[in-house]
Amino acid sequence: MIFGLLKDRKVGEYRVIATPLEVSTIKADGHTVLVERDAGLMAGFSNEEYEEQGAEIVETTEEMYERADLLAKVKEIEEPEYKLLREGQIIYTCIHPAAHEQQVQAILDSKCIAFTAEDSHRYGSVNCEAAGKQGALMGLQAMLTINGGKGKFVSGLAGAPGMKVLILGGGLVGKSALQVLHSLGAWCTVMDVNFGTLRDIGQMYNEKVNTQLSTKQNIAKLLPEIDMVINCVKWPKGSKDYLIDREMLHLMEKGSVLVDISNDEDGAIESFRETTHEEPMYIENGVVHYCVSNIPGAIANSTSVAYAASVLGHLRSILNSGVREACIKDGYLRRSLTAYKGFLTHEETSAVQNRPWVRPEDILQIAQEMLDPAPPATVAKSDNFLKI
């Protein structure tokens, strides 16, 4: 097959989904590799390094879409790319389909085969770890007086107490943020709805981290004494409620910081609006908001190296075995199948956008095979099935 490595064009995005090392492996499997010019440049990988591993450097995005059987990149398909998608072509990238209706429509109209990478990770995405760790550091940047924050130092100084931080969500993102902040000396509280998660965090840190059940009431009670809130909750799509609504901002002291790593429209934070690395912060009701959607792009080299290694298995499986066999062998890849030749195959997107869908097992005709199991990617359910 012909594998194409696309350059990401989202504002502030500098990562690349395959380094020259992964290209070398794919070439060794017998495939042709196309790399869009400067795809890895900002992450520290030159065109020459890719060429040394056998890749062909391609000048335009249009040629990449025209020639490649499987295309991969880090972030969403941008609007100028919609018209370039073609029938039967395979796309692997972070589509976030439930939140991007126009992108989904373009994918369906093109009749391409699309995988949303964020649902394909068996052990959690490296990007989540990166977002949690770097997001914590970005929050400390927002806390500086020169950025409108309280001007508190994370661990405190002689005679001055350290910061109090509330982390909403104890999953991979939250645990990663906690790892950084606790090691720097912040006073941390983690809230989650899973008592097993809270118990594990308490034991991991020898009960030196406070844990509480995540409820709106518990959050409101704690906010007046909190310096920084980090939201790491994957909020149910379509929910009309918030964990922190605008009125609750009045409970926070002026100069407090709110870092929304989960970064969802209609997410857990009502005052959220997406920002970029160029203008990362805004102040609402005296609270400094940091809401950059692609935080890992700020550490493009480290994230690219780790992320490329984590997805190589999926790319090789599709390239070497084809979509059908790859989805039989890996349930996490199967659940990430978003669209197949004009049919929606992503349950959450069906539920949120009220679109009819087909289970991947049915459209691929593999329901009777020995399928590798995987849990659902989200709690969203849809019985709006399309008969095929």
Nearest to 313 by CA among 330, 325, 328: 330
Bridge partners, 72 (sequence order)? 5, 92
Q: Which residues, 6+ apart, have CB-to-CB distance to 329 below 8 Å?
A: 317, 321, 372
In whole angstroms, give the CA distance from residue 14 to residue 294: 9
- Dihedrals phi, psi of 33, to nearest 5 degrees: -120, 125
Lay out the sheet containing 113-116: strands in order across.
56-58, 32-36, 2-5, 70-72, 90-93, 113-116, 337-340, 343-344
Task: Indicate if the alpha-carbon torsion angle 196, 198, 199, 205 is positive or negative.
Answer: positive
Give me the half-sphere count of Cα atoms (radius 13 Å) on the Cβ side of residue 197: 16
- Write the DSSP symbol of residue 167: E
Output the CA–CA distances (angstroms, integers) from residue 121 to 138, 263, 313, 325, in the order listed: 25, 19, 11, 18
In whole angstroms, give the CA distance from residue 22 to residue 312: 7
Output the CA–CA distances (angstroms, integers) from residue 230 to 13, 87, 249, 265, 301, in the order listed: 22, 41, 14, 16, 24
- Write the DSSP symbol of residue 332: H
**8, 260, 264, 330: which one is catalytic?**
264
> Which amino acid is it at 216?
K
> Angle at Cα 221 formed by Cα 216 and Cα 224, nearest 5°?
120
| 3-state secondary structure string across 31-84 | CEEEEECCCCHHHCCCHHHHHHCCCEEECCHHHHHHHCCEEECCCCCCHHHHHH
Q: Please indicate whether residue 362 is annotated as part of the active site.
A: no
**96, 121, 182, 346: which one is catalytic?**
96
Token pair belonging to 273: 């609006």
In whole angstroms, give the CA distance from residue 228 to residue 57: 45
Q: Please indicate whether residue 264 is annotated as part of the active site.
A: yes
How deeply is 98 buried, as exposed, middle or buried, from its count of CB atoms within 10 A (0-12, 13-18, 19+)? Answer: buried
The catalytic residue positions are: 96, 264
